[in-house]
Structure 1
C-alpha cells in the first residue's frame, strides 16, 4: 500500500510522547517526494515465560504510536514478532527439573509442562493475546519459528554469511563499549536475565573465520543450538557443524535447508529491512553502546535498509504482590493486572509517562488512590476548556481509535465498592443492593460492571487479613458495660436518630451530628474544636463496637451495609 499522504502531523492542541513518536515514524516512511507507504510499527517479544508487566510496555508503546497514526487517517500496521525460535534458556521455578533436557531447543519445540498448549511458547502467548484483546490492542502476529522454517529468510541468511567479515568488523568495534545499564532493583535484575541485548560471539582468533559465523544451526539430531561450525563452503553453501550436547556431526545447506537462525544482532536489523519497519522501541538494555540497536544501525545497510525510528523505554516494576500466584514465580502479567484494574486504567499507567521513565504498578492500597485519580481525571476530561497533556493521556487510555473500551454504566467510586465488598463479604447481588442504598441508583449488577468485579477481586486477594473488616457476630458486652457517660450518650443519640430505612446521606448527617447534639448544637451547625475532638473519639468507639478495630471503612457506608437491625444489636446496652 502506498500513495501520497498529507503530512498528517498531530493536530493543534497538547502534544505528548506518542504524538512525537508518530511524527518520527511518519517521516521515516516518507520518501524525498513525500510518498508514504504503509507505516509499520513493530514490536517483538520472546515467549520464554509469563509476559509480565515490564514486557507489556513493548506492546502498549507500539500500540499507542500506531493508534495515533490511525487516528490521523494514515495507513499503518502494528506488526508483532514472536521470537519463539529463540532458545529455551533455563527451567524456571515451579517446573519439573527434567525440563532441563530441553535447554537449547527452540521455545516452539519445548513441550508445555502444564499440557494445555502445543508448546512452551504457545502456553505463554495465549493469555497475553486475551489480555491484549481486553486492552483494545490489535496487531498482526509473526512467528519467527514459522518464518525461519519456511525458508522465508534464506536470501538474507546467505547475504549475512557472505558479509560475515564486515559484520564482525562492526560488532568488533563495540565489544569493549559499555553494555546494559546497571539494574536499579532486584526485580529489574531478574528481568534482564532473559535479555538478548548483549548476546554476542567471542572475538575470533586471527584466521578463525567460523568463530564469528552469523548463523547458528539447531542440531538435526537433538534439536539444540549447542553447535559449533567446523567448515563452510561459500560455493556450495554447506555448513558443517558438531553438537556438544549429543556429539552429532552434520552438514546443513543454507540455500536449501532451514535448520537454524541468524544470531540476534544480525537477525534484528535484517528484519527491519525485510518488514519495512518505521518505528520499533525496546528496553534501555538494547539502546546502550555496543548492544543490539547501536550495532543494528550499522548492520542494517548491508541488507539494503536502515534502522527505524527508535527509543529505549524504562523498566516497569510492581509492588503489593505478596498474594499473587497465578503466574509462574509470582511474576505479575497483564492478565493478573486486569483482574483488579479496568483496561483503560492499565493503558493509562503506560501512556501518561514518558517512555524512559521507570515506574511501579502497586497492587496494594495504592489501587484505591489510583482509581480516585482516574475518576478525577475523567471529570476534568469532560470539560473541553481543560484539555491538556493529562487529558490527552486520558483520551488515549479510554480506548483505541476504533472506540472506547467498556466501562460501568453507573460509575461508583472504587473505594466505595471495595469497602462494601469488604464489609459484606457476600455476593455481587448483596453488594449491588447496598450500593443502591448508599446513593448509586442502578437497575442490575451489570450496571456496575466491570468495576464491581475488579473491586471484589482486589478486596478478596490484595487486602491483607489484618486490614480486612470483620463485623462482630455478637455485641462486645465487656466494652458496652464499661462505657463512659459521654460514650453512652453518643450511642443513645445515634440509635434514637438512626432511621429505619438507611440512606447514605441521612446516615452521614446522623453520624457526624451526634457529637454536635451532645454539645447542644444542631446537626447542621458548624463543628467547634470540642466537637471535632469528640467526633474522632466517637468514630473510634463505633469502629471498636462494630468491627473490633480503631478504624475501618467509611462509617456511614459501613452502617448502611450492616443494616439498622445489626447496628442496633451491636450498639444497644444489654
Structure 2
C-alpha cells in the first residue's frame, strides 16, 4: 500500500476514522501527534486503560500507514493529592493539597506516590505493545517550560472567566451504575474550576505554597506589570509573592491547563472519557479556549464510554478495588485484552467479566483467529483481530499450539497447576506439542484464572472414597462402575480418546450395545445418571470438568481408589 494512505477497499473501523481525522488535522505529509493523559492518583484501572489503548490504536494505525506518528502521554502528576484512600495510614492526610510527586509512597517501594502507580502500568503497557512518549507535568511546570503559556492565560483571564462562567450551569453527567458513580467521584473533570465573587478567586493559576507545599492558597493581589502574584496559605498561614515570569511554583487550573498543552504540543487527536466529554465539561470549555486563548485549532476527538468489571472476587493487586491492567494480564493474553477495547465503538460502555465468561471469551477469540486465517473472510471483525494480535512493530506473544482455554483451565484446576502434568494431559487430548513452552502464554493465564476463582467454583478431588455412597449403590450403578474399572484395568497412562469412548460407552455396554453403537434414548438417560454418579464419587459435586479430562488428570490409580470400597 502507498505510504501514508490507507488501502482502498479495506474494511474500516473507528480506528481508521480517527486516524483519518488526525491526519486531516495535522495536514497531509506532516507528523501527527495523538495524545493521552492520566493522573497517577491511584491504581490505573481498566476504565482508565481505555484512555491509553484508544490513543495507542490510532497511533498504531498511523504507523502502519508509514506515517510519522507520536503517541504523547501526559502524566498529570503535578495534580494535587485529593484524599487518603482506604489502606493508607490516616497521617497521609497531612499531604492533601500537595502535588502527587511530593507525597511519599506509603508502601516505601517508589520515590513518591505518583511513581508508585506509574511503574506497574508502564510494565503492563509494554506487555500490551503500547509505545508512547511520556512527559511529566511536575517536571515541565517545575523547569519553566510553560512560563509563556501561563502568562498568556493570565493576560487573557477575563476572556477565560467569561468562557468558564458560560458553562458552569450546564448539567453534569449522570452515572448509570454504582461503578460509574465511583469513577465520576474520583474524576478531576471539575477539579480546580475557579469560581467566586472576585477576579482573584477566579484566577486561572494556582500556586503551591512555598512553605508547606500545599495548594490551599488564597490570592491577595496580582500586578500585571511585574507579574508578581501574592498569596496567603490557609494551611500554614505563611504569605509569599511568586513571580510568574521568573518562578515556577504552581500550575494552571485544570480547565485551562488541558487546552494549553493541546496548543503547546500541537495535538491532532485526543479522546475524552464521559466525565470530560459532556456539555459544559473540561473538554467543551477547552475546545473554545485552545482556539480563542492559545491560537491553535481544537484537536480531533471523540468521547469514550465507561468500562466496568465483574467476577473479580480474588483479583490480586487491587483486591477490594477496581482491577488494573496488571491484574487483567494475569488472566487474559495481551491480544485478548486489547481486543476487548478495539472491537467496540469507543462510545459503547461494556464490562470485562473475569468470572466464567472468560472461557467463552477465549472461545470467541479462537474462533475469530480461525476466521482471520482465511484471507477471503477479511471484514471489520477480522480487522479488530489484526489490531489486537499485532502492532506495526510486529505480533504480540501468542501460543504456538492453541489449546482451548476451557481445557487448560480445567486441567490446571484438577492438577493444582503442575505445568508438566498439564502438558501431558493436553497432549493426550489431541494437542501434541514439543514442550510446555508451546502452550504459553495461555497456560500461565489459565493457571492464573483458576487461582482467582472462589472455592465453590473450584474442583476439589476427594481424598478418600465415599464408602457410604459406594455401599448404597444400586445394582445398575455397581455394574456401571465395574465396567468402567474393567476398561481402565492395566492402563497406567490414560489416553483421553480411549477414556472418552469408555465413559460414554459404559451405559451402552450395560444395555448390551457396543461402544461404537449409536445411543438410544434409554442410554442417553443412563449416561446422564452415570455422569452425575461419577462427579459425586470423584469430586463431590453435581458437575465439573469434562469427565474424560478429569479421569485422565486423576490417573487410573486414583480413580480406582475412589470408585472401589
Worse-matched range after superposition: 44-53 or 411-420: 411-420
Secondary structure of 2:123's counterpart equals: helix
Aligned to 2:161: 168
| Structure-2 separation of matches of 1:318 and 1:523 | 46
The aligned residue for residue 297 of structure 1 is: 287
Q: How does 1:146-545 map to 2 (within 5 A)?
A: 146-179=139-172, 181-199=173-191, 201=193, 203-205=195-197, 208-301=198-291, 302-327=293-318, 329-461=320-452, 463-498=453-488, 500=491, 501-545=493-537
Which sits farther off after the overlay, 186-195 or 15-24?
186-195
Equivalent in 38, 46, 66 of residue 31 of structure 2: 38
Secondary structure of 2:508's aligned partner: helix
Moved more, 296-305 or 84-93: 296-305
Look up the match of 2:23: 26
Which moved further from structure 2: 234-243 or 408-417?
408-417
Shift of 1:384: 1.3
- Match of 1:127? 120
Matched position secondary structure for 2:560: helix
Contact 2:313 2:454 (8 Å CA) reproduced: no
* Residues 124 and 328 of structure 1: CA distance in aligned 2, closer, same or farther (over 3 Å): farther
- Distance in 2 separating the partners of 1:332 and 1:238: 46
Match of 1:12 among 6, 9, 13: 9
Please give the alpha-carbon distance, in whole angstroms, between the structure 2 residues aligned to 1:6 and 1:480: 73
Deviations 1:199-240 (A, max 9, x none): 3545443xx321211110000000000111110000000000
User: Which of the residues 106, 111, 118 maps onto 1:118?
Assistant: 111
3-state SS of paired residue (1:330): coil
- Contact 2:189–2:276 (8 Å) recurs in 1: yes
Q: Does the CA contact (< 8 Å) of 1:438 and 1:560 recur in 2?
A: no
Superimposed CA distance per residue, residues 88-107 of structure 1 (whole angstroms, 9 cap, x where no aligned partner): 00000000000000000000
Moved more, 195-204 or 466-475: 195-204
Q: Would you say the 8 A contact 1:10–1:19 is kept in 2? A: no
Alpha carbons 2:270, 2:301 under 8 Å: kept: yes
**Whole-angstrom CA distance in 2 between matches of 1:154 and 1:114:** 34
The secondary structure found in structure 2 opposite 1:326 is: coil
1:54 & 1:84 partners in 2: Cα distance? 19
- 2:129 aligns to what? 136
| Kept after mapping to 1: 8 A contact 2:221/2:231 | yes
Distance 1:329 1:467, change over 3 A: closer
Q: Measured at CA, do residues 329 and 482 of structure 1 come closer, stay the same or move farther in structure 2, by a change above 3 Å?
A: closer
**TM-score between the two structures when normalised by the length of structure 1:** 0.95
Question: What is the CA–CA distance in structure 1 between the aligned matches of 2:3 and 2:477, rounded to whole Å?
Answer: 74
Aligned length: 561
Change (3 A) 1:88 1:10: farther
1:56 counterpart = 2:49: yes
Q: Which runs of 5+ in 2 are unaligned?
A: none
C-alpha deviation, 1:372, in angstroms: 1.1
Contact 1:219 1:227 survives alignment (8 Å): yes
Does the 8 Å contact 1:174/1:295 carry over to 2?
yes
Contact 2:502 2:515 in 1 (8 A): yes
Say whether the 8 Å CA contact 2:193–2:255 is kept in structure 1.
no
Cα pair distance change 1:201/1:409, threshold 3 Å? closer
- SS of the aligned residue for 1:257 comes to coil
Can you give the 5+ residue segments of structure 1 that lack an aligned partner in the other structure? none
In structure 2, what is the Cα distance between the partners aligned to 1:201 and 1:538? 68
Aligned-pair CA distance for 1:426? 4.5
Distance in 2, matches of 1:201 and 1:448, equals: 52
Aligned counterparts of 1:69 and 1:62: Cα–Cα separation in 2: 11
Query: Residues 93 and 328 of structure 1 are in contact (CA less than 8 Å); yes or no, is this contact kept in structure 2?
Result: no
CA RMSD of aligned residues (A): 1.4
